Every structure is written in structure tokens, then in C-alpha cells.
Structure 1
Amino acid sequence: MTAARAKRPPEAAPRQDPGSARAFRVARAGGHVAGSVRGGGTPLLVLHGGPGLSDTSFLFADELEGWQTVRYTQRGVPPSSEQGPYTLEHHVADAVAVIDALGLQHVCVVGHSWGGHLAMHLAVSRPDRVLGLVLVDPFGATGDGGEAALATEMTARLPAGDAARADALDRRALAGFGSEAEALESMALFWRSYYANPAHAPAMPAGLRLSVSCYAESLTSMRHHLAQDTLARLAPTATCPVHVVVGGASPIPTSVGSATADLFPRGRLITVPGGGHLPWTERPGCLRAALENLRNELHADSLVPPHARQQCERAEPAV
């Protein structure tokens, strides 16, 4: 998987206190997206899973040390605006708006699950803004993205009664007329199935929110683009490194990640033995290592000099 390496100018900025965090709020048509910037180092845009879910990237925050992390809650759930539209195009535009508002020219991107799929669309839509990707057990770029296999395996990992209840509630949510409480109940039942050993897995974190309309519309948009082969057509034109990290025991088959990595000229598959859909929980440090590998590859390209730092310059104050 080789291709001509596009050179972008190195970027540097003053040091920041790694422990400090600054909230931001970026205006969007009819609303806003809200998030925070923390630490110093190469800018890293963090795209959480979902869709329609609260920002869950706190679950792997320890793996992101040494980067200037830019996290935000995707549209649909507070503290960002709850109203749509929720298409992939709008999600990509929100991500670009965050990058613009913070005064960043280029970013690396890490995305988990749905966030990994969104990261691919960002990279092929705006290759001028993305230096490299780390995709953590993402929905894939071909076929149905692994959606059917994921649903089948997660159901198989549950007791029959729980599986039937979770599946029925999820179908209501996908149809767009289930309640938030029902959708969260379904997610809570399914949650342990994300792990390699569901019997010993932790429960879903408390306090999460889920927008049923965002969940349904975003997945409909993803399915539309998969049917149109959007990523399959555009991924071969991408010049940035793409590291696809998959759990060897994830409910998403490793073949989904392999097929995704193969689409990108600089794609690389990293399988985490014994890892589930949240592989950093079973194998702490695996995401940190993947990010460091990406940084080293960019350093070799002279895109990110050693210890390069770029400051986030602009953002609306949090209110």
C-alpha cells in the first residue's frame, strides 16, 4: 500500500499546560457544537462513537496523552445543539467548522466506531485539513460497513431474553420513533457485548444521552453512502496514513477493518489480540501505540516535526 506522499508545511506553536482544558462553542446554522481543547502537542481531533450518543471519548482519554486533543459532542446531544440535519455531510461540516474556529490548519484524527467512519468521510472530503487517521474498530468503508455482522454477533453474546428486548428497542430507535429511554435501555443491554468477555465486562457508563432522531438519520446517511460506494471510490485518492485498529474479539469482524485498510494507499491494519470493540479496555496502551506509530510516520514525511506544537487560536467563549 504505497502512494506518493503529499507534503504539507510543518506546524509549530508554543507549549501549553498539558493539564489545562479550554471549553469552546462553535456557531453552526441554527445552533452550535461544544467541546474542549486540552494539552499540548500535535493537534488531534477526537470523533466519538454513536451516532447520536454523548461524547464517550473520555473512556480512552488516558490513551491520548502527548497530543493536543480537540474533543466535541457531535450535533444531536447537549451540550451541542440537538437539532439536525444529521447527515454525514453535516457531521463533516461540523468537524471542519471546529478546526476552522480553533485556527488549526491541519489535524490528525482519531475516531472510534461511528466516529471512525465519520473520520474517513472527513479525510476524503477535506484532504487538505487531515494529516493522518487512526480508526478504532470503525464501521467499514465497503458493503454494509459490518453493520449486520455487528448486530448478529452482539445479539448472540446476550442471554436470549435480553437479546430479544434489546433488538426490539433498537429497531424502534432505527425507525426513528422509539424514545430516548428505550434507546438507552437497548444500549445498556447491548453494552457488555462490545467486550471480548461480556460476562466480566463493565456496565454502560451512567449519564449518557442518546438522540433517537440523530441515531436513525445518521445511520440512514451512512447506509446511503455505502450503497453509493462513496468511500470505496474516494479512499484510493487519499494520501494520508490511515491506521485501522481492530479488536481481535470485537463483534465487528476483523475482515471489515482489513477491507477498509486495503482501500487506502497508505492503509495499515493493526489487530489487537483479545480486544473487543473498545480494545483499549482489554489491552491498555494499544491506542496510544497506534497514535505514536502515526506520529512517527508523519515525522518521517516531515509533516510533523519532533515535539511540534500548534496552538488553538480562535473559538467562541463557552456560555
Structure 2
Amino acid sequence: MHTARFLHTNGLRLHLLDYGGDGPPLLLLHGLTANAHAFDGLLAAGLGTRFRVLAPDLRGRGASDDDDSYTLADHAADVLALLDALRLARVALVGHSFGGLLAYYLAATHPQRVRCIVALDAAIAAADPRVRDQLQPALARLGQRYPSFEAYLATLRAAPYWGGWWDPLLESYYRADVRRQADGSVEPRPRPAAIAAVIEDVLAQDWSAIVRAVRQPVLLINAPGPYGPPGAPPLLSEADAHATVALLADGRYLRVPGNHMTMLYGPGARAIVKAIMGFLALDGAAS
């Protein structure tokens, strides 16, 4: 169970899922066009049993306010303001995809606020222009109107990156993804222009320098399954993930089942939660 809250921070109203708990704080940062419900599979797999889990919608996603600027510095300022509002001096970060890149950026630029990082399929290779091409099927839904939520779900179930796979928990994630119109039609909340601005700013960063500046312990969890039908390449290969781990001062690697998206559900989610528990216990964050 969680409590949905709105906090006014950094000039925006940010939406937050607060799962409560008395354990150490664990802040979850979602992917490029996602929202806080992207982690429902991890919570269902038991992530909230030992930590105070907090999952915000980043600016312009989910129920958080839209804005005119979408740089990494903007996103980092939102997260820091959120931590201040919650009176949290230092947290462990779990970031998926773009959320993992944001976690690296926060750890490098504000090291006193980040205890450690669990990066889910987030590596320097994710900031390659070729990845933008691989992401096009996921980005294609933006800026479109669908006659109903059911029609929207049907379109998504056929998306190549799911490869015919589906989990019922995806419905809550996609419900949080859309804005309903009076006629019953729906539109995805993230604006194409905003997401394009995020991508361009990510591509402009010196990620080798950023990752080398991260001194905190990092666990990079990689799901190198096909990002699409059988035979499709992964979004993040094992070799590319290892290349990022090699740049980290204190990095380690773990492979889990699934691909860039399916890893957050089912067997992948259970493996991730087990790994997070062990990693944070080793780091001391779970004590």
C-alpha cells in the first residue's frame, strides 16, 4: 500500500508515492517517459519490506507538473528539493534507464546526498544516439490520442519491446501514463518536445567524466534480453554495462532475466529485489 502525495518543491508540484515503513529511505527514479508506477513490479516482489520506499513522478511525467526546461540539472534540483521537503539528508537511489543516469549525475554533483546507487539498465551506452533509434517504438505513443484506455492498452500490448509478454501490473503503470479526455479518449502525459529536450541534454553530457566522479558504491543490474522479438538486440548489452562498471570507483555488475522493460516484473523483479536487499545490507544502508 502507498500514499499518494503532492509536494511543492523547486517551483513545481511533484507527485510522490510514499510506501511508508521505518527502514532507511530508498528513492526510486523512473525512466525517460515513465512514471512512479513503473516500479510496481518491484514493490510486488517485496521491495518495501525493509525500506521506506519513495517514488516520485519526474517533472512532466505522471501527475507531476509540466515545465519549460528539462535538463539533468533541472531534474537533479527537483530531487534535491524533494529530499529537503521530506527532511532526508542522504538516501540510496534506485534508477531505471534515464533514472539511473540521473542517479549518477546526482552522485557526482551532490555526493553528500547520495549514499549508494542501484542502476537498472543504466550505462554510458544509453547516452548514445543509436539508443534513441531503439527507443522509437516506445516514444511513438507520445503526442497521440487514443479512443479509449482499452485501445491504448491494446496498442501497447502489441509493442515490439514487450515481445508478446505482458504482466497485469502494467495496467496501473499505463493508467498513470495518460490524461483522460471528456469523450473517454486518452493521451499520454509526457510531451514529445519535453522528452526530446531530455534526450538532447543527456546526449550533450560527458558521461565518462560523470561516472568517473561517482565515488559511492554502485550496483549495475543489467537485463540483456532482446528488446523486441527473438533475435532483437538488447537495449543495453552486457559488454556495454561492464564498460560503465569499469569506470566506477566502487562498481559491481549483476545480470537478471528479461529485457530493458520486462526486467521490472516477474522473475526479473524478484532477482532485482533480492540483489537490492543484499547490496544495501552490504553497504550498511539496511541496518
State the TM-score, normalized to the length of structure 1.
0.70
Residue of structure 1 equivalent to 2:275:
290
Residue of structure 2 equivalent to 1:158:
none
Instruction: From 244, 247, 258, give the equivalent of 1:275.
Output: 258
1:88-237 alignment runs, 5 A limit: 88-138=72-122, 140-142=123-125, 145-146=127-128, 148-149=130-131, 151-152=133-134, 166=137, 170=140, 179-181=143-145, 188-189=155-156, 192-195=159-162, 198-202=163-167, 205=171, 206-207=174-175, 208-209=177-178, 210-211=189-190, 212-225=192-205, 229=206, 231-237=207-213
Counterparts of 2:154 and 2:240, CA distance in 1:
22
Counterparts of 1:186 and 1:263, CA distance in 2:
40
Higher relative contact order (CA 8 A, sep 6+): 1
Counterparts of 1:187 and 1:95, CA distance in 2:
34
Q: Give the 4+ runs in structure 1 shifted more than 3 A.
A: 19-22, 149-152, 184-195, 200-206
Q: Does 1:33 align with 2:14?
A: yes
Give the count of matched residue pairs.
254
Counterparts of 1:20 and 1:275, CA distance in 2:
27
Q: Does 1:260 align with 2:224?
A: no
What is the deviation of 1:282? Answer: 4.6
What is the deviation of 1:43? Answer: 0.4
Native 8 Å contact 1:146 1:256 kept in 2: no
Native 8 Å contact 2:41 2:266 kept in 1: no
Once superposed, what is the RMSD of the aligned Cα atoms? 3.0
What is the deviation of 1:119? Answer: 1.1
Native 8 Å contact 2:31 2:95 kept in 1: yes
Deviates more, 1:199-208 or 1:128-137: 199-208
Counterparts of 1:114 and 1:190, CA distance in 2:
22
Residues 131-154 of structure 1, C-alpha deviation per residue, up to 9 Å, x if partnerless? 10001112x225x635525744x7
Residue of structure 2 equivalent to 1:314:
none
Q: Which runs of 5+ in 1 are unaligned?
A: 1-18, 156-165, 307-319
Residue of structure 2 equivalent to 1:162:
none
What is the deviation of 1:126? Answer: 0.8
What is the deviation of 1:260? Answer: 1.7
The alignment-based identity, stated in percent, is: 22
Native 8 Å contact 2:7 2:14 kept in 1: yes
Amino acid at match of 2:258: G
Residue of structure 2 equivalent to 1:57:
39
Counterparts of 1:234 and 1:83, CA distance in 2:
25
| Structure having the higher Rg | 1
Q: Which runs of 5+ in 2 are unaligned?
A: 179-188, 227-233
1:300-319 alignment runs, 5 A limit: 304=285, 306=287
